[in-house]
């Protein structure tokens, strides 16, 4: 079976010495890579700051995280996105921040790369299907972007929209879902420092099958809340519709916080299998982030708001 990386070895630490000392040249190489017609997946992201949010748990292998994906636009089987997303064009790219904001803006990936210092955050990621992984993401708190847009008092929720192009994603129609993929968070959830605007993983820009070039990462919610390949972030007054919630409202609630006490009709949710481990392990409330986020839901019946 697979061999997990030791948790204390970070990508920044394994960067070859020559490259490390050649930093200037390295940095100037990044925009050049961005200019390439193909996706710029796999471009190294140097100098990622460490984050106190990181877990010390063993990371999953890059191979696991890139060959076991739910990205239905590129096919339903877990190995489909790795195969069919390889030529996904992610350059040029525009992420539009709009809605109830004083400063709507269309961002390029270059803009986003320089909007805030990129951090490496090693998060647990728990899928509603009962498996989990540990991934070193690269990015920063979504709040940095939202603050720049200056939300108005009307901004109560944030609606996310993923890219959809039936030409590039011919398998999407077989999935039975409606696209583009849409997701949503409450404003306080979106502003929570753990909520990440993610531009990379394992010290590189995101591979296409993991949501290149920019995605959301909300580590205390089931994985489907972390929408991939974002093109639009809209601040709105009312709770926005979400793809899986539309498809099956009994199973996928708007909140979808990881909760071992609230079973999904088809999965118990009490346990999970960490990829690479044989035995299931108990699932933790809020995926182990209860200390940071449980207070967001004070007074809420989490069985009702699942």
Q: Which residues bind other proteins (CB under 8 A)?
A: 1-2, 60, 63-64, 67-68, 72, 76, 78-79, 129, 131, 174-177, 247-248, 263, 265-268, 270-271, 273, 275-276, 278-280
The 10 Å CB-count burial string (b at 16+, else e) for 158-175 is bbbbbbbeeebbebbeeb
Closer of 63 and 94 to other proteins (Cβ):
63
**CB of 163: closest distance to other proteins in angstroms?**
19
**CB of 165: closest distance to other proteins in angstroms?**
20
**CB of 9: closest distance to other proteins in angstroms?**
20
Closer of 40 and 244 to other proteins (Cβ):
244
Q: CA-to-CA distance for 10 and 48, rounded, in angstroms?
A: 10
Q: 13: Cβ–Cβ under 8 A, 6 or more apart, which residues? A: none
**CB of 227: closest distance to other proteins in angstroms?**
16
Closer of 116 and 177 to other proteins (Cβ):
177
Closer of 2 and 49 to other proteins (Cβ):
2
Q: CA-to-CA distance for 177 and 163, rounded, in angstroms?
A: 14
Q: What is the DSSP code (8-state) at residue 173?
A: G
Closer of 260 and 285 to other proteins (Cβ):
260
For the chain, helix (H) and strand (E) counts, in that order, are 10, 13
Q: CA-to-CA distance for 267 and 271, rounded, in angstroms?
A: 9
**CB of 104: closest distance to other proteins in angstroms?**
33
Q: What is the DSSP code (8-state) at residue 302?
A: T
């Amino acid at each position: 079976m697979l061999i997990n990386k030791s948790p204390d070895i970070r990508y920044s630490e394994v960067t070859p010495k020559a490259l490390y000392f050649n930093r200037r040249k390295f940095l100037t190489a990044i925009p050049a890579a961005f200019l390439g017609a193909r996706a710029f997946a796999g471009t190294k992201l140097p100098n990622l700051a460490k984050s106190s949010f990181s877990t010390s748990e063993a990371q999953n292998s890059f191979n696991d995280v890139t060959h076991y994906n739910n990205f239905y636009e590129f096919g339903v089987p877990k190995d489909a996105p790795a195969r069919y997303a390889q030529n996904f064009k992610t350059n040029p790219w525009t992420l539009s921040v709009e809605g109830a904001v004083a400063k709507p803006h269309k961002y390029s990936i270059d803009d986003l790369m320089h909007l805030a210092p990129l951090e490496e955050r090693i998060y647990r990621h728990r899928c509603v299907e009962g498996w989990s992984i540990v991934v070193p993401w690269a990015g920063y708190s979504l709040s940095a972007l939202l603050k720049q847009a200056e939300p108005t008092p009307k901004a109560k929720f944030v609606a996310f929209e993923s890219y959809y192009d039936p030409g590039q994603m011919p398998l999407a129609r077989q999935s039975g879902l409606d696209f583009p993929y849409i997701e949503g968070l409450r404003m306080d959830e979106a502003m929570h420092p753990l909520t990440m605007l993610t531009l990379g993983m394992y010290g590189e820009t995101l591979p296409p099958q993991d949501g290149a070039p920019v995605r959301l990462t909300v580590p205390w919610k089931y994985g489907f809340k972390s929408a991939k390949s974002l093109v639009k972030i809209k601040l709105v007054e009312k709770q926005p519709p979400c793809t899986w919630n539309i498809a099956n409202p009994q199973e996928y609630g708007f909140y979808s916080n990881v909760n071992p006490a609230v079973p999904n009709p088809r999965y118990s949710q009490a346990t999970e299998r960490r990829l690479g481990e044989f035995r299931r392990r108990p699932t933790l409330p809020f995926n182990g982030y209860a200390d940071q986020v449980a207070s967001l839901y004070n007074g809420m019946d989490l069985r009702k708001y699942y």
